Amino acid sequence: MAWAVFLILSFLCIGSVAAMILSRNQAHNALFLVLSFASLGGLFGLLDAPFAAAVQVLVYAGAIMVLFLFAIMMFNLRQGAPPERRRIRIVLAAGLGAILLAELVIAGRRAVLGGGGAASAPGRDITRLGELLFSDYLYAFEITSVLILAALVGALALAGKREGQ
């Protein structure tokens, strides 16, 4: 059962990212990405991380992608140009991707084999996450709030409407 869910979700995720690569319409790309992130949220749920799954769906598939769609609305783009001299790019990118994948698989196998998977108590309970956030990661947590404030002010300063224009 879990395998079926895993396979369906991972095919959805990989497939929608592949469709994003193939499609040339930015709005479609953003919607494919929403599907991909939503199925990733399901995968996070499979990994006993319900809070991360909820945050993934709410923040990523919700907030961030809505931001992307708003940006696409602002741009009012014409459709993509004809596919001129893209072959060499695709071949180069595919070669690079194959090398990177091999590297990741080698590194991952070494990490998994070396680490030894003594999977004991799963981190299912959310209280541990909360305690961790407010004890070990307290400084990081507070700095995150400053970061978000800085991003808000920075976005306003960069893209906000000027008085003189």
Map the footprint of another protein across residues 131-160, applying CB under 8 A: 132-133, 136-137, 140-141, 144, 147-148, 150-152, 154-155, 158-159
Give the DSSP per-residue string, 15-73: HHHHHHHH---HHHHHHHHHHHHHHHHHHHHHTT-HHHHHHIIIIIIIIIHHHHHHHHH
Alpha-carbon distance of 27 to 39, in angstroms, equals 19
For residue 51, the minimal CB distance to another protein (Å) is 7
Applying the rule CB under 8 A, the residues between 30 and 49 that interact with another protein are 30, 33, 36-37, 40, 43-44, 46-49
Q: Is 18 in the site for another protein (CB under 8 A)?
A: yes
CA distance 126 to 50: 8
Determine which residue in the list 35, 79, 88, 92 makes contact with another protein, applying CB under 8 A: 92
At closest approach, how far in Å is the CB of 43 from another protein? Answer: 6
Q: Is 108 one of the binding residues for another protein (CB under 8 A)?
A: yes
Task: Write down the least CB distance from residue 29 to another protein, Å.
Answer: 5
- Between CA 96 and CA 103, with CA 101 as vertex, the angle to 5 degrees is 95
Half-sphere exposure of 64 (CA within 13 A, CB side): 11
Binds another protein by CB under 8 A, chosen from 73, 74, 82, 114: 74
Binding of residue 8 to another protein (CB under 8 A): no
